[in-house]
Amino acid sequence: MRIRIVDAFTDRPFAGNPAGVLLLDAFPDDDRLQRVALEVNHSETAFAHRLPAGGEADWALRWFTPATEVAMCGHATLATAHVLHTAGAHEGPVRFATRSGVLTATPREDGTITLDFPTAPLTPVQTPAGVAEALGAEPRTVLDTGPNIGDLLVEVADEQTVRGLAPDLGALAAHSERGVIATARAEDPARGYDYVSRCFFPNVGIDEDPVTGSAHTALAPFWSERLGRPDLTGLQASSRSGRVRTELRGERTLLSGHAVTVIDGELLV
């Protein structure tokens, strides 16, 4: 099987979020998919195979962390669409059949790819006991992000607080299905981004995700309401860093970014 490693939500190698991408004839058993994802050992590995013509989707797509299969992944979807287009396996918009419904990825003239994802339903909740201590910062606002995402979205005081977080991941794992998205307004929007975030997902084997497309389906409605604009840019302030352009369209959120293939090889076993 041919395997590629793609850095997503970045226009340069060794930044953004790396994902493994494998294009298959059909999905093998789940155990094999999980073992490959563990071997790749990036936050997600995407597996895709072509579907018969004439259906509602063009390719079937699944995503695995090193520990488990997940219901939605933005950066690995972007990476898969990038591989399909650069390898000549698909032209134009591509429709993926996934556990979160049909997701579309559309290449743009500027070299970016735009993903069409469902907007996360945000529900304000009381700050759970222990979250502030586990995160290492006092929450201003806490919201549940719904079943597709499975995170707590936590607004903190400012950008420097987000950048300085060093959470107790073991304690944080008790407070959500997947993990916690920490966010704050950008200190200086002139730098080209409107808000910052970091994502901690200990429950799916990811201490900190470098750039998380799915999290931006919650960040987009949260910040669009506060900033009064549907079109925003988020900076995920991990050590690798990456930017996600978001456009809120009611029940759908568009996520746009670049991708770069950094490894192209063969899985021998």
Q: For residues 220 and 226, give the distance between their C-alpha atoms in angstroms, rounded to a whole number.
A: 10
Q: For residues 72 and 12, give the distance between their C-alpha atoms in angstroms, rounded to a whole number.
A: 24
Six token digits for residue 2: 């041919």
Q: For residues 236 and 15, give the distance between their C-alpha atoms in angstroms, rounded to a whole number.
A: 11
**Residue 144: how many other CB atoms lie within 10 Å:** 19
Taking the alpha carbons at both ends of the chain, their separation in whole angstroms is: 8
User: Which one-letter amino acid corresponds to residue 134?
Assistant: A
Q: Which H helix or E strand runs over 82? A: helix 74-86
Q: For residues 158 and 105, give the distance between their C-alpha atoms in angstroms, rounded to a whole number.
A: 33
Please indicate whether residue 69 is annotated as part of the active site.
Answer: no
Catalytic residue (choose from 39, 44, 91, 225): 44
Q: For residues 175 and 127, give the distance between their C-alpha atoms in angstroms, rounded to a whole number.
A: 10
Give the pairing of strands 179-185 and 151-155: parallel
Give catalytic residues, as residue numbers.
44
